[in-house]
Chains A and B, each alone.
Chain A
Amino acid sequence: MGIAIRGWSSVLAAATLAGCAGQGTPIGGGGDAASKVYVAPGQYDEFYAFMSGGFSGHVTVYGLPSGRLLQQIPVLSQYPEKGYGYSEETKALLNTSFGFIPWDDTHHPQLSTTNGEHDGRWLFINGNNTPRVARLDLTRFETEEVIEIPNSGGGHASPYLTENTEYVVSATRFAVPTPQADVPIEGTKFGGLLSFVKVDQASGHMSLAFQVHMPGFNYDLSRAGKGPSHGWSFFSSYNSEEAKTLLEKNASQKDKDFIAALNWKQAEQCVADGKAKTWPARYAHNIRGEDGIARTEMKTSTTVLEPSDCPGLVYFLPTPKSPHGADVDPTGEYIVGGGKLATVLPVHSFSKMQKAIADQAFDGEIDGVPVIKYEAVNACEVQNPGLGPLHTEFDARGFAYTSVFLSSEIIKWDVKKCEVVDRVPTYYSIGHLLVPGGDTRKPDGKYVIALNKITKDRYLPTGPELTQSAQLYDISGDKMQLLLDFPTAGEPHYAQAILASKIKDKQLRTYALEANKHPQAVKAEKDVKVVREGTKVHVYMTAIRSHFMPDNIEGVQVGDEVYFHITNLEQDWDVPHGFAMMGATNGELLLMPGQTLTLTWKPDRPGVFPFYCTDFCSALHQEMQGYVRVSPKGSNVKISYNTGQ
């Protein structure tokens, strides 16, 4: 027993010693890594990284190279902290043809481009569960618009942008009956729609232009052509077996699946020539107007193009095996298929593809889509890519970086020579990766970021659920060097990074009160009022350091719907006010200077209930409070309130 105890204590002692240095020897990093990611207090990062929050439904913003979290932007999930999806102004953004949906799974942020380069206008991101595309404004870091994609099941190959952001492209991950119908699952031929959403270049407003009706494969990821391949979009697909059950086996039988190469300029022509059909559809389009209020328009039809009705529209490029990525290099010539079950990394050539089409080098066709011969389109195969290559981005020096899931590594390879030149492990199970500007014509290079699926022992454990994490590698030298692990809020499914200089100086500091077009805005304290309309009570309130006006309200009754329309009268940078009402069953409001937002409250009992400012605004923040008196239904207490006069 004594020996056993001594034995245990020496183990404990060893563990304690090891505890001083994490798990003992750090894995990765080292050398001058710390100085390369150190951004001194008060200094700015060089890049903004926009990371999807994965199943959080948000977008998170990080600074690079420090890995510091700068902001969380709610997009397709409610976010009570900002009243997002709760306030009257933002609720409609989450409307769909299925009704209000409080959550979605955001996967692929895409920064808008002009001439294939990030232009800093907008960020788009997809809803993977109930197919939607959201557009975020990059002067306010807010969601402005959400469009639902009809006739789709899972908006995964989404939202990929054409070279000048002419279109946001969204393709269905799940084949479904097209159009939807009550049919047996087995024995029914499903379809897959590739949807092209037009983007208005001035306003950014989206509209569904047309959908291409493809075979019922699973469309996974997409990239648009650029330079010489501008006008084309490439979609990876798997499950060309069209299995409906146990896909992990049944969709993994063929040696090759396909990358679909689609000529969207040809599609525009065919639509203009009247070759498309109109299908009935039902999908929501939600836009936040100039008055700051989001409204939903329910659309009722869609334009669908059959490949067989539009020759030259789309071709299949055979690609081993179950490809994930379909990534176009900065020159626009090479299309890299990340075959997640493949033993090689196939690189297709756009110019070879053009020649093959001209020569009709086809291997039959599927549902009217010609299949180009593999040898006629393939430029080369990168050997030894590791196990499970997924997604490729590029630097400005002719190198490509591919994430490899199963062997948990990043490979660096020479695009021209088609050979691997370096590889580094990731911790662990990398999904997507990101090189700043790495999918554009002008990559910024410098770093590659691994967006990992699991973290295991990399951080202090936090119960069964561990943190999500990304890793930053320096790629400026011959060898990739791990610099930093940093935890992320939500799954960092995919991310894009932009030079801070492209958007930093465009940031809105305050909303100009004079320009506030909200119909319930109150721009001066003397104009505040409380108005009863039946069982609705509208409170037109102002907030300024350090009081609400009015801050004493009487005459509200149990069962009323009370709308607090609050305008933040501040015009100073970084002086938001919050508004929280006791017993409100939704969230709070977070009001930026000059902004008007509305919180609804349904008092359920008589009494006097306080409200207060939640965002520490001033030395007298704690005094920023008020009361609402609630009387029983039918009470003769009249509406009254103070005005400070």
Chain B
Amino acid sequence: MMSPTASAAAPATGGAAMRRVALVEDPMLARSSRLLLVVAAVALGSIYVAPLWHIALEAPQYPEGLGMYIWAHQITGDLRSINGLNHYIGMKEIHPEAIPELRLMRPIVAGLIGVGLALAAWGRRVGLYLWTGLFAAGALVGLADFWLWGYDYGHNLNPEAAIKIPGMSYQPPLIGPKQLLNFQATSWPALAGWIASGALALVLVLSVREWRRARRAAA
């Protein structure tokens, strides 16, 4: 697996022209970058053991709070209570089995991990860029999808609901706090969400680093 690297090849021969040729022709990632790419890919495995997102609800009558944990494949927490409360405002009940994303997310992430590991083995810089792009795009699509679900739940209300407030919608916040009637809803990544965010940040930094290293070498 060891391949000739810039640091091994270039300085020994000396001379700017020589170095440039060697670097331009070396498409490989730094060893540390490859290792960290592996780390990032493996870290995504956390979605199998921890929730991605947490929506907390607080109200005067709920000093202990209500909460909902969104995993890659399920929703846990006080779902029954939240559904019970939501019927007053006509919000649809949240049934995890009716959300296809919860069936898709795990295979998609598994694929992403596999591809990440393969690209790390391949070791080329372009592989890192590719994976970072895939990951970032996946994350954006995921968040957008999450927002759309939230929009649907928050706006698509039963017209026969007991509590109707003109102009009021109940879309939960994507991130951060928001007051929804007597409830303060707060939405933040949960453990696996933070780990995945860290992994994404890591490969973004790695990509920038590799890109700058390549640029520097080319200069």
Q: Which residues of A contact B (CB under 8 A)?
A: 544-546, 570-573, 618-620
Interface size in chain B (residues, C-beta < 8 A) = 8
- Are B88 and A571 within 8 A (Cβ)? no
CB contacts between A and B, total, < 8 Å: 19
Complex Cα–Cα for A573 and B63 (A): 11
Summarize A's interface: helix, strand, loop or mixed. loop
- Are B64 and A544 within 8 A (Cβ)? no
Point out the residue from B64, B80, B84, B163 that lies within 8 Å of A573, measured CB to CB: B64
Task: Say whether, besides A573-B64, A620-B162, A544 and B88 are in contact (CB < 8 Å).
Answer: no
18 intermolecular pairs with C-beta atoms under 8 Å apart: A544-B84, A545-B84, A545-B88, A546-B162, A570-B81, A570-B84, A571-B81, A572-B78, A572-B80, A572-B81, A572-B84, A573-B64, A618-B88, A619-B88, A619-B162, A619-B163, A620-B88, A620-B162
A-chain residues with CB within 8 Å of residue B163 when the two chains form the complex: 619
CB nearest neighbor in B for A593: B81
A-chain residues with CB within 8 Å of residue B81 when the two chains form the complex: 570-572
B-chain residues with CB within 8 Å of residue A573 when the two chains form the complex: 64
A-chain residues with CB within 8 Å of residue B88 when the two chains form the complex: 545, 618-620
Given A545-B88, A571-B81, A572-B84, 9 more contacts at CB 8 Å? Answer: A544-B84, A545-B84, A570-B81, A570-B84, A571-B80, A572-B78, A618-B88, A619-B88, A619-B163
Measured CB to CB, the closest approach of chain A to B27, in angstroms, equals: 57
Measured CB to CB, the closest approach of chain A to B63, in angstroms, equals: 9
Could you mark each residue 130-168 of chain B with 1 if its beta carbon is under 8 Å from any beta carbon of chain A, else 0? 000000000000000000000000000000001100000
A-chain residues with CB within 8 Å of residue B80 when the two chains form the complex: 571-572
B-chain residues with CB within 8 Å of residue A544 when the two chains form the complex: 84
Complex Cα–Cα for A571 and B83 (A): 11
Q: Which residues of B contact A (CB under 8 A)?
A: 64, 78, 80-81, 84, 88, 162-163
Complex Cα–Cα for A571 and B85 (A): 12
Measured CB to CB, the closest approach of chain A to B68, in angstroms, equals: 14
B-chain residues with CB within 8 Å of residue A570 when the two chains form the complex: 81, 84
Complex Cα–Cα for A367 and B88 (A): 74
Measured CB to CB, the closest approach of chain A to B58, in angstroms, equals: 14
Complex Cα–Cα for A461 and B142 (A): 70
Complex Cα–Cα for A620 and B162 (A): 9
Measured CB to CB, the closest approach of chain B to A75, in angstroms, equals: 30
B-chain residues with CB within 8 Å of residue A545 when the two chains form the complex: 84, 88
Complex Cα–Cα for A333 and B88 (A): 65
Measured CB to CB, the closest approach of chain B to A548, in angstroms, equals: 15
Measured CB to CB, the closest approach of chain B to A618, in angstroms, equals: 8
Q: List the 8 shortest-distance A-B pairs measured between CB atoms, nearest first.
A: A572-B81, A571-B80, A620-B162, A545-B84, A571-B81, A544-B84, A573-B64, A572-B84
Complex Cα–Cα for A472 and B28 (A): 81
CB nearest neighbor in A for B64: A573
Complex Cα–Cα for A618 and B163 (A): 12
B-chain residues with CB within 8 Å of residue A572 when the two chains form the complex: 78, 80-81, 84
CB nearest neighbor in A for B81: A572
Complex Cα–Cα for A522 and B84 (A): 17
Complex Cα–Cα for A619 and B89 (A): 12
Complex Cα–Cα for A570 and B82 (A): 11
A-chain residues with CB within 8 Å of residue B84 when the two chains form the complex: 544-545, 570, 572
